[in-house]
Structure 1
Amino acid sequence: MRATKSSSDEELNQTPVVPPQTRRKGIGIRTWLVVSESGQSHLEDIEKHSIMRRTGLPARDLRVLDPILSYPSSIFGRERAIVINLEHIKAIITATEVFVLNSKDPAVAPFVQDLQNRVSNVAPKRATESSDNDMEVTANESQGLPAFHAHHGAVGTMMLPFEFRALEACLESACRCLDYETSTLEQEAYPALDELTSKISTLTLERARQIKSRLVAISGRVQKVRDELEHLLDDDNDMAEMYLTEKLVSQPLDPTSFRGELDIDSINSLDEREEETESEFCGETLSTIKPKIEELEMLLEAYFVQIDGTLHKLSTLREYVDDTEDYVNIMLDDKQNQLLQMGVMLTTANLVINAGIAVVGVFGMNIHISLFDGVPEQFWGTTFGTLSGVVVLYFIAVGWGKTKGLLA
């Protein structure tokens, strides 16, 4: 009994214990490529609730990025993040990080490289600018100038914030991808359509059908991206929502935090003047917190013009396809008219031939007439006379049809 118990204990000790994290892997956990503001990137397995806490996004926004589900291209800003779903790019942009979902996709690799280059090229420059600004602030303080004005002048020359640089990388990658597909389709479409106009066959018609299907699909994708950019440009509140760095910097001040540091006379005077300056203070606070959307508006307008140019190329190609279809239909109608004319002419020939057959049938009856007792010249004269009458009747019928416009 003791030996049996010890062997069972050994089997229990040898049984591998699966960690809880391994058992739960695959349930709400996805691999994200995290690109930080400094340009460093790493792969990280993040749970759904964890990414919601880090980005402040609800679950419905994460469903837009689900690769299993099919959602159209969309860009929308939230309190702490910007959700990007453009073509092959599915990412979440915060004020300090970018979360890329399908980073292992070969089509996403150029976008990731471009994003890292943009951030890594700007991060050292911003660090140098901040050190220069600190030195300038110190020099101004030594000269008796207010530090706020020195820092405010430096901020005016700063480059785009991190979220806009990441957004620009997303827009550029999506527009480049759509423009490349459009150029490839143009290179294949124009020769195929020209060949179709010169030679109509099953092969050329099938190629034209495939080209038109691809044209419709690409046009829909480009139109959706254009509509999304146009929607953002038309709504200033949506653009203002995307200023994530501005939201972190422009935090509203709480008067109770510094009220205790004032003396009693200052507090009384502040209470007396509070009602008079409330509206003015609120207006100044709103004007200070409200971000300037000109930077983002110019950024979106640049890519709106680019995507609109791509859509114009597709529209031109669509018009060429429609013109080719009209030309092919005209050619087919002409062929059909020629076949109808041939049918009319054959029917007419059949009619006059039947008239000649009727004459032959009359002479073929078993009835004796005086013509049968004649010489052979009479037989040949009757035969050639019947044929001549058939031909004359045929030409008369064709001439009548042309006179009436029934035949060309």
Structure 2
Amino acid sequence: MVRRKTSVGITTGVKTWMVVSSETGEQRLEDVGKHSLMRRTGLPARDLRVLDPMLSHPSSILVRERAILVNLEHLKGIITSTEVLMINSSNPFFLLFLQDLLTRLTHQPPSPMSNDMNPGYEAKPPAMCGSEDSSQNVSHVKISEEVKADSPKMAPIAPKQLPFEFRALETFIESACRCLESETSRLEEEAYPALDELTSQLCTLNLERVRHIKSRLVALSGRVQKVADELEHLLDDDKDLAEMYLTEKLNASLLDQASLKEEYNSESEDTDQSDESNSEKYDKFPGLKLNVEELEMLLEAYFAQTNGILQRLFSLSEYVDDTEDYINMMLDDKRNELLQATIIFNTLNMILNAGIVVVGLFGMNIQIELFNGKPRQFWATTGGTFGGCILLFFVFFWWGKKKYLLSIDRE
């Protein structure tokens, strides 16, 4: 029976999902099948493959009609207007993200960004004890009473809060940026001392450490660049930004259905309205496409943060390149010293060979008058041979310095 359950679970694609509700903010584990998830979120099977933990996909944020699919670093989830579905994981960053998400959903403070977007809202300081503060408060109350008297129908406007899907999306992006920034800081702590040690002591161990650090730097730069590209793509497309207002789209569709039931009674008109495309429906609500400032401000903040991380990685990459150039200069200098030493030893070898040729000539079995001479003639010949070799060495040495083959003068 156990094997049968396992095989059925594999064939139907049942996975354990962490579900967070927008109404209560509670978390629960659910075993959801692939087809059930498609009906629940309206996502096609192709998009669900992005969330498969067994497959490797780059970071992406896909906006669909009823859901937002998020695949950022260690986080894989689906955001709808009523809940967030995530693949359960034991990653420490995922547990921290889940805690932040629950905190953000259950204790949502007034958003200053939303207050700036609301023209009728003005932040007021609390009343303080004292003559000057109390007089200011009294005058402020009088002004507000006059405004209320002039417009009695005006009601106090409460600070606007972000929709559920934006709060969840912000938590996803913030957790991904926190993970990337943590890895960047850890890489910087390892890279700069290793590079400085390499410049002071050139050895195989230090070279291997720097090579490993550079490979990590390239991989991390690509991941950060992909997240920045996804945010930039969303900021450049107002249509995708408008499609991300899932709550407003849901409310608009409910209002549209109610108005259709009231206004259109004939079956033909109902059929025409039911065949209307999704884009035509949302054209009736221009606010869904035009009122994207708060979402743009939200994404621009994290886009600036990713650009900051990229700048830090770029600075580290430049430092690595400068270190590589310095190491190459050191290696070239050592190579030049070896070449100079090779030239000197080859010159000495050639001069010694010339002396050996002279000795070989005198060692021939022939009779000449020099062999019958006095001992001083032998020492004179020997001294002349050595002196000639030394003179040839200095001549070659002078010629090498003149042709800049032997530049051994150092400061």
Deviation of the 1:406 alpha carbon: 1.9
| Aligned residue number for residue 212 of structure 2 | 210
| Cα distance change on mapping 1:24 and 1:385 into 2, 3 Å | same
| Aligned residue number for residue 44 of structure 1 | 30
| Aligned residue number for residue 403 of structure 1 | 402
CA contact (8 A) 1:39 1:123 kept: no
Deviation of the 1:103 alpha carbon: 2.9
| Cα distance change on mapping 1:159 and 1:388 into 2, 3 Å | same
Partners of 2:288 and 2:302 lie apart in 1 by 27
Partners of 1:320 and 1:248 lie apart in 2 by 51
Partners of 1:404 and 1:32 lie apart in 2 by 77
One-letter amino acid matched to 1:176: R
**Match for 1:257 among 236, 249, 261?**
261
| Aligned residue number for residue 391 of structure 1 | 390
Partners of 1:239 and 1:22 lie apart in 2 by 41
For residues 1-39 of structure 1, the C-alpha deviation after alignment (integer angstroms, 9 at most, x for no partner) is xxxxxxxxxxxxxxxx67986662233000000011121
Residue 112 (str. 1) matches residue 98 (str. 2): yes
| Aligned residue number for residue 128 of structure 1 | none
- Which aligned segments of 4 or more residues in structure 1 are displaced greater than 4 angstroms? 17-23
Deviation of the 1:257 alpha carbon: 3.1
Deviation of the 1:204 alpha carbon: 1.1
| Cα distance change on mapping 1:288 and 1:258 into 2, 3 Å | farther
| Aligned residue number for residue 7 of structure 1 | none
**Match for 2:249 among 227, 247, 250?**
247
CA contact (8 A) 2:238 2:289 kept: no
Partners of 2:3 and 2:184 lie apart in 1 by 49
| Aligned residue number for residue 271 of structure 2 | none
Residue 32 (str. 1) matches residue 36 (str. 2): no
| Aligned residue number for residue 337 of structure 1 | 336
SS of alignment partner, residue 108 of structure 2: helix
One-letter amino acid matched to 2:76: K
| Aligned residue number for residue 191 of structure 1 | 193
One-letter amino acid matched to 1:303: Y
Q: Highest CA radius of gyration, 1 or 2?
A: 1
CA contact (8 A) 1:240 1:290 kept: yes
SS of alignment partner, residue 242 of structure 2: helix
| Cα distance change on mapping 1:289 and 1:348 into 2, 3 Å | closer
CA contact (8 A) 1:111 1:170 kept: yes
Deviation of the 1:363 alpha carbon: 0.9
CA contact (8 A) 2:224 2:306 kept: yes
One-letter amino acid matched to 1:63: R
Deviation of the 1:199 alpha carbon: 1.7
One-letter amino acid matched to 2:355: G
Q: Which runs of 5+ in 1 are unaligned?
A: 1-16, 126-144, 262-281
Deviation of the 1:60 alpha carbon: 0.8
| Aligned residue number for residue 375 of structure 1 | 374
Counting aligned pairs with the same residue, the percent is 59
For residues 248-300 of structure 1, the C-alpha deviation after alignment (integer angstroms, 9 at most, x for no partner) is 12235365533499xxxxxxxxxxxxxxxxxxxx9994335546111110010
One-letter amino acid matched to 1:253: D
For normalisation by structure 1, the TM-score amounts to 0.80
| Aligned residue number for residue 291 of structure 2 | 292
One-letter amino acid matched to 2:241: M
| Aligned residue number for residue 99 of structure 1 | 85
| Cα distance change on mapping 1:310 and 1:169 into 2, 3 Å | same
| Cα distance change on mapping 1:347 and 1:259 into 2, 3 Å | closer
SS of alignment partner, residue 35 of structure 1: strand
Q: Which runs of 5+ in 2 are unaligned?
A: 112-151, 266-280
| Cα distance change on mapping 1:368 and 1:331 into 2, 3 Å | same
For residues 158-191 of structure 1, the C-alpha deviation after alignment (integer angstroms, 9 at most, x for no partner) is 2101111110110011001001111111111111
SS of alignment partner, residue 158 of structure 1: coil
CA contact (8 A) 1:34 1:43 kept: yes
Aligned positions of 1:213-224 closer than 5 A: 213-224=215-226
| Aligned residue number for residue 47 of structure 2 | 61
CA contact (8 A) 1:73 1:86 kept: yes
One-letter amino acid matched to 2:32: I
Aligned length: 348
For residues 29-75 of structure 1, the C-alpha deviation after alignment (integer angstroms, 9 at most, x for no partner) is 00000011121001111001111111111111100111111110000
Partners of 1:53 and 1:124 lie apart in 2 by 34
| Cα distance change on mapping 1:111 and 1:360 into 2, 3 Å | same
SS of alignment partner, residue 26 of structure 1: helix
Partners of 1:400 and 1:260 lie apart in 2 by 105
Q: Please, which moves more after superposition, 338-347 or 219-228?
A: 338-347
Residue 325 (str. 1) matches residue 310 (str. 2): no
Partners of 2:297 and 2:2 lie apart in 1 by 53
Partners of 1:164 and 1:256 lie apart in 2 by 29
| Aligned residue number for residue 161 of structure 2 | 159
CA root-mean-square deviation: 2.5
For normalisation by structure 2, the TM-score amounts to 0.79
| Aligned residue number for residue 140 of structure 1 | none
| Cα distance change on mapping 1:209 and 1:20 into 2, 3 Å | closer
For residues 207-253 of structure 1, the C-alpha deviation after alignment (integer angstroms, 9 at most, x for no partner) is 11111100110000001001010000000011111100111122353
Q: Please, which moves more after superposition, 54-63 or 115-124?
A: 115-124
| Cα distance change on mapping 1:22 and 1:322 into 2, 3 Å | closer
CA contact (8 A) 1:90 1:102 kept: no
One-letter amino acid matched to 2:285: L
| Aligned residue number for residue 358 of structure 2 | 359
CA contact (8 A) 2:65 2:243 kept: yes
CA contact (8 A) 1:76 1:238 kept: no
